[in-house]
Chains A and B, each alone.
Chain A
Amino acid sequence: MIELHSVTKAYRTRAGDHVVLDRIDAMFPDQVSTGILGKNGAGKSTLLRILGGAERPDAGQVVRHGRVSWPIGFTGGFNGSLSGEENSRFVARIYGADVDEVVDFAQRFAEIGEYFRMPVRTYSSGMRARLAFGLSMALDFDTYLVDEVTAVGDKSFQAKCRAAFEDRSERSTVIIVSHNMNTIRKYCSRAAVLNGGRLRFYEDLDEAAEAYEAVA
């Protein structure tokens, strides 16, 4: 579970402060997977990083219960000159997990074959995402933060990810940010729209879709 208490974040630009998160109060309870919709640049990724703790809010408080993943997506988190295996070892170590188990699981889940032992910089973005997903699945988080999964891999890999999330829906929660309603529908039971620094929750996905249409 993650709680936000009047979380505020602004970026300084030449044109003055640009407020991306404006005193947001929110609750992400256990076992309720939430989708966060927003246009490009609405601050979705910033929100995700603040939820995960990689970035600090300018004001307000973030309370996390349980283990929260890093924002999983296409980018970040890997050293390009190290192989997928070495990167997996590193991540296993910083999370205090069994290194061999994690490496083994990530390799099987990612299905990137020989590339697992080659430098990550030789990967396509899809392969990076596969590795990131495999790794995060190996680590058993209570809350998974997912950034723009829409195009991760082919159909069968998407199905695999969904199955993996469904598999652990008893113990894990997913928070997904996306600008695509279809993605949200696949994974989430409720959604929120991030617009103009405010986050509005909708218990009904159709309502959320409508609200999103209105601002997008």
Chain B
Amino acid sequence: MSGAVATLPRGELTRGLMAQLRVVHALALRETRTRFGQNKLGYVWALLEPLFWIGTFAGLFEVADRGTPGGMAIVPFLATGVVTYELVMKTANKGSQAINGNKALLFYPQVQTLDLILARGALELATYAVVFALIIGGWAFTVPRVRIDDLLVLMNGLLLAGLLGMGLGLVLCGLNVLSPTVERIRGPLFRPLFWVSGLFFTAESLPKQVRDMLLYNPILHCIEMVRTGFFPDYHARHAEPMYVGAWILGLFFFGLTLERRVRHKVQLT
């Protein structure tokens, strides 16, 4: 057989890494087909949901006659917030279902829970990057000129948001195996984050006391980074990539430890 396994020249680590990449790649390809069942409309939904929130809040801002902080254009202001937030939440959501939705795959020894999470996370990240580009692209038709300040900072913010979602998903996935109740309380538990993650405000526009408290929330940091990358005249002094990174490391560490502890409880049917 023309297996890559046999022909790889270098040591164990490279081989292990290649095997893992192969698995994640195969899983990601598969997930693109099954993300919404056989229904291709699912991808349209990924676009419609953020659009719905953006529309709703743009309307509310209009009715309340409230301006955006620093006079940012309303569509990208909301899009940076909503898309980044959705990315974290949907990735966590998909990740938490990784074992339940893919038990059959754990039959193959080289497929591990982490691979399932990484594959789903990569797919969500790609999906929402496209969603963001589409929304901004659509909006660009309505304005004379669009300038994105620093694409790298923007992408970094989205990447960290995706990784944060994967970390959360990994932990939830492990907890799910322990108790199905987790899935039920996840919704109510996460819902407040919608209001405190900076979807419709910036950290800069908050009074210091409130800001210091809300800055414990890593999602706010991600959104601030995306905005800093997008808007030429916005600079979030409080966004700390390292802080988000610490959260991600912590979540992955805890999640992987948990996974190792509960793995034997997963019934491979």
Is B1 within 8 A of A49, CB to CB? no
Q: How far is the CB of A57 from chain B (nearest CB, A)?
A: 10
Q: Which residues of A contact B22 (CB under 8 A)?
A: 93-94, 96
In the assembled complex, which residues on chain A have CB atoms less than 8 Å from the CB atom of B182?
A: none
B30 and A76: CB pair below 8 A? no
Q: Mark B217-246, 1 if CB is under 8 A from A, else 0.
A: 000000000000000000000000000000
> Nearest Cβ distance between residue A13 and chain B, in whole angstroms?
12
Complex Cα spacing A52 to B106, Å:
11
| Cα distance, A49 to B258, chains bound together (Å) | 21
Asked whether A122 is an interface residue with its Cβ less than 8 Å from the other chain, the reply is no
Find chain B residues with CB under 8 A from A82 CB: 30, 33-34
Contact of A77 among B18, B19, B107 (CB under 8 A): B107
B249 at the interface (CB under 8 A from A): no
- B37 CB within 8 Å of chain A: yes
- Residue of B19, B37, B107, B268 contacting most chain A CB atoms (<10 Å): B107
B110 contacts which chain A residues (CB < 8 A)? 94-95
Partner of B269, one of A75, A101, A139: A75
Interface members, chain A 13-59 (any B CB < 8 Å): 49, 52-56, 58
* Alpha-carbon separation in the docked complex, A79 to B16 (Å): 25
Interface-facing stretch out of B2-10, B44-52, B191-199: B2-10
Could you tell me the distance in whole angstroms from the C-beta of B36 to the nearest C-beta in chain A? 10
Q: How far is the CB of B244 from chain A (nearest CB, A)?
A: 31
The answer to whether A81 touches B30, judged by C-beta atoms less than 8 angstroms apart, is no
Of the candidates A76, A96, A98, the one whose C-beta lies within 8 Å of that of B104 is A76
Contacts of A75 on B, CB cut-off 8 Å? 269
The residue in chain A whose Cβ has the minimal distance to the Cβ of B8 is: A96
Assembled-state Cα–Cα distance A52/B107 (Å): 9
* Interface residue A84 (Cβ < 8 Å from any Cβ of B): no
How big is chain A's contact interface, by range? 20 to 34
Contact indicator A54/B19 (Cβ below 8 Å) = no
Whether the Cβ atoms of B264 and A56 lie closer than 8 Å is: yes
> Of B26, B34, B263, B268, which is within 8 A of A94 by CB?
B26
Contact B30 A96 (CB under 8 A): no
Instruction: Verify B104–A55 contact, CB threshold 8 A.
Output: no
Q: Does B108 contact A (CB under 8 A)?
A: yes
Contact of B264 among A55, A81, A86, A139 (CB under 8 A): A55
Question: Given the known A-B contacts A77-B107, A79-B104, are A93 and B26 also in contact in the complex, defined by CB atoms under 8 Å?
Answer: yes
Contacts of B102 in A (CB 8 A): 79
A91 at the binding interface (Cβ < 8 Å): yes
A109 within 8 A of B: no
Please report the C-alpha to C-alpha distance between residue A81 and residue B105 in the assembled complex, in whole angstroms.
Answer: 13
**1/0 contact string of B87-107 vs chain A (CB within 8 Å):** 000000000000000101111
> Are B25 and A95 in contact (CB-based, < 8 A)?
no
- A53, A58, A94 — which one has the most chain B CB atoms within 10 A of its CB? A94
Q: Assess whether A134 is interfacial by the CB under 8 Å rule.
A: no
A97 within 8 A of B: yes
Given contacts A54-B107, A56-B263, contact A97 B3 (CB under 8 A): yes
B175 within 8 A of A: no
Contact in complex: B107, A81 (CB < 8 Å): no
Query: Measured between alpha carbons, how far is A139 from B107 in the docked complex, in Å?
Result: 16
A54 and B104 contact, Cβ closer than 8 Å, known pairs A82-B30, A93-B29, A97-B3 = no
State whether B105 touches A79 (Cβ < 8 A): yes
Chain B residues closer than 8 Å to A95, beta-carbon distance: 3, 5, 110
Q: What are 12 A-B interface contacts by the 8 Å CB criterion? A: A56-B263, A56-B264, A70-B107, A77-B104, A77-B108, A81-B37, A86-B30, A90-B30, A93-B22, A94-B110, A96-B18, A98-B1
B-contacting residues of A (Cβ < 8 Å)?
A: 49, 52-56, 58, 67-68, 70-71, 75-82, 86, 89-91, 93-98, 101, 119, 139-140
Knowing that A77-B108, A90-B26 touch, tell me 11 more A-B residue pairs with CB under 8 angstroms.
A52-B109, A70-B107, A76-B104, A77-B104, A77-B105, A82-B33, A82-B34, A96-B18, A97-B3, A101-B2, A119-B38
